[in-house]
Chain A
Amino acid sequence: MENKDISQIALQRIKESGIKPISKNIFSLKRVIFWSLVGFSIVVGAVSFSVIISLLFNNDWYLYQKFGLNFIVKTIPYFWFVFLAVFTILGDYYYRKTFLGYRHRTITIVCVYIVITIVAGSTLNIIGTGKIIEESLRDHVPMYRGFIFDKDEFWSHPENGLLSGKIIGIKENLIQIIDSNGIIWIIDIDSAFVGGRAQIKIGETIKIIGDIDENNIFTVEQVRPWIGNKNNIMR
């Protein structure tokens, strides 16, 4: 083929086949879609981060002394960390598909994504979004409970010295609580340490650390606030 013919033959093909340029709107739409996906990845990442810090802030770290590192390992919100990692990868992938997105290195994109996620996620956590989302999932998505540390179940083992329930009566140093199985316990908190923001008043849900003896008497060491919904204790 002669060099000089190539352009002319191509133009002839264009004319004969009646080829028309694809509409500009299609390309604009494609760009909007990829930017939207980048935005969506950032929003999901920020929400995941806000849930992570909400869960970590409200974790019962003090139990490390009683149960050791194994307890800490069990309570880490792996599900949300995986979610955050997946959306960080997707954010990078979608950003690269945007116009000129390929010019930046993965490390740069990921660092910027992480900074945005931390700032937006912390803001969401301050306004309580992380906690609301986590509790809604716990209450309305049964499958979700399978992926996270089940705090309700963990605090329903009096035989291990872990009890929780709603205060239904108070008389001097004795408080009456009802646990998630509907069992009513009378507890003497006279010599107990009442920690954190725990309030001894009717309607409050509390966590109790102590010991149970062979006569089913529960000796209280610490009383802690529940923090968050306790969905299977009667409201």
Chain B
Amino acid sequence: MVNHEYCINKTDNELVELSLDNPDHFLCLIRRYESKLLYYIMRISKLSREDAGDILQDVFVKVYYNLNEFDKDLKFSSWIYRITHNQTVSEIRKKVVRPTIPFEKEDIDRFEDAFNIEKEIDNSFDKEKIDEALSKLDKKYREVLVLRFLDEKDYVEISDILKKPISTVGNLILRGKKLFKEEYEKLNGK
């Protein structure tokens, strides 16, 4: 088994190379992304933690199987998010969706700052409204808003994850923000 200290100073690209020789290094690589990707799956799918965990396992197996496809001209994080996105989209077609979107306090703060939303004293009330407003959006807008404001990806990374032109990503974010704000204000009775 590979020592955690040994991995910590390695870049993603170095770990990819090492994983091709020894799958134990792969553990270091996927551990870096485990919690981010688990939340990402739950955010875009509304699946429970257990179901999201099952998808993530499949994602990691798939990533290892296709490891030679990874090109260093792309960020490893974009590539692994893309596989996760595709796997999740294909899985949610098969599963019954349970209504839970996981939000951390920082997520809510980030959303409120990005959209100039007035903060409520009761944070759980904000969470419910953000959740509801996001749920009302079309999938294509929800996906880009989650990646941009919750996973903090830039336009090029979102373009690489969703395999959409950069300009399209920009337009979707712009339109998505407007629609989100409208939905949020409706929920606030404005």
Interface residues of A (CB under 8 A from B): 1, 3, 5-11, 13-15, 19, 21-24, 26-27, 99-100, 102-106
Contact = CB atoms under 8 A, between A and B. Distances in A.
Contacts of A7: 27, 30-31, 34, 60
B64 A104 contact: no
Interface in B25-79: 26-27, 30-31, 34-35, 38, 49-50, 53-54, 56-57, 60-61, 64-69, 71, 73-74
B90 to A, nearest CB: 17
Contacts of A103: 156, 159-160, 165-166
Interface of B: 20, 23-24, 26-27, 30-31, 34-35, 38, 49-50, 53-54, 56-57, 60-61, 64-69, 71, 73-74, 156, 159-160, 163-168
B23 A14 contact: yes
A8 B73 contact: no
The A interface, classified by DSSP as helix, strand, loop or mixed, is: helix
A3 B53 contact: yes
23 contacts: A1-B49, A3-B38, A3-B49, A6-B53, A6-B56, A6-B60, A7-B31, A10-B57, A10-B64, A11-B30, A14-B26, A21-B64, A21-B68, A23-B68, A26-B68, A27-B68, A102-B163, A102-B164, A102-B165, A103-B156, A103-B159, A103-B160, A105-B168
A90 B104 CA distance: 45
